[in-house]
Amino acid sequence: MGPFPPGVESEEQRDEYDKLRRRVLWTLPYGLYVVGSRAGDRRNAMTLNWATQLSFEPKLVGVGVEKPALTHELITAGGVFSLATVARDDRAIVRKFTKPVEVDLGAMTLNGFAFHDGRTGAPILDQSPGYLDCEVRQAVDVGNHTFFIGEVVDAGFQASEDTPVLRMEDTRMNYGG
């Protein structure tokens, strides 16, 4: 079985099918998060939408990170990551973390946003409503991304537990397909 259904044979049919497949994939519901990474003294924070809980016992979450990303390099080297929710009212923040960040350790800011180091040392934005701090337990090669599976070693709320959190559909952004 190949990547195209039966009857999709010409280049034009493949292009049309690929466009359809992407549109369907874009309708899958996703949250938008800021994932923090650290290796030694190097830190980064990146907007991410491929994240999910995987297990109750142990508490495991997984994040999909594109291989060329600085975050991928730091999670691979450091073995830790944080996953922080974003308040729906803070939707503009996710555009600030689409490229490697400017870290100011004196001011404890990432691109001007205050952060603190979590239990693992991974950075967590102070304004995130909630966060998970994780140690990598497994890294799975999945094409042009790696699926990092992390065990939650710390978690908390930094705002009211019922703060509405950002989802992909709340923005005009898309990633995937």
Task: Give tens-digit pLDDT for 28-81.
Answer: 888 999 999 999 999 999 999 999 999 999 999 999 999 999 999 999 999 999
Q: What CA–CA distance (Å, rounded) separates 90 from 118?
A: 21
31-170: CATH homologous superfamily?
Electron Transport, Fmn-binding Protein; Chain A (2.30.110.10)
Check residues 58 and 171 and name the one with the higher pLDDT: 58
Question: Distance between CA 146 and CA 74 in Å, rounded?
Answer: 12
28, 59, 71, 143 from 148: Cα distances, Å: 20, 14, 11, 13
Instruction: Evaluate if residue 172 carries a pLDDT over 70.
Output: yes
Q: What is the pTM of this model?
A: 0.90
User: Would you state the structure tokens that stand for residue 31, as one six-digit string?
Assistant: 């949250």
Q: Residue 24's closest CA among 147, 169, 144, 176?
A: 176
**Residue, of 176 and 161, whose pLDDT is higher:** 161
pLDDT on residue 177? 63
Phi-psi region of 68 (alpha: psi -120 to 50; beta: other; left: phi over 0): alpha
Asked if residues 72 and 146 have their Cβ atoms less than 8 Å apart, the reply is: yes
User: Who contacts 47 (Cβ-Cβ below 8 Å, separation ≥6)?
Assistant: 32, 33, 34, 35, 94, 95, 97, 98
CB neighbour class for 122 (10 Å; exposed up to 12, middle 13-18, buried from 19):
buried
* pLDDT of 154: 98
Q: Using CA atoms, how far apart are residues 23 and 70, in angstroms rounded to an integer? A: 28
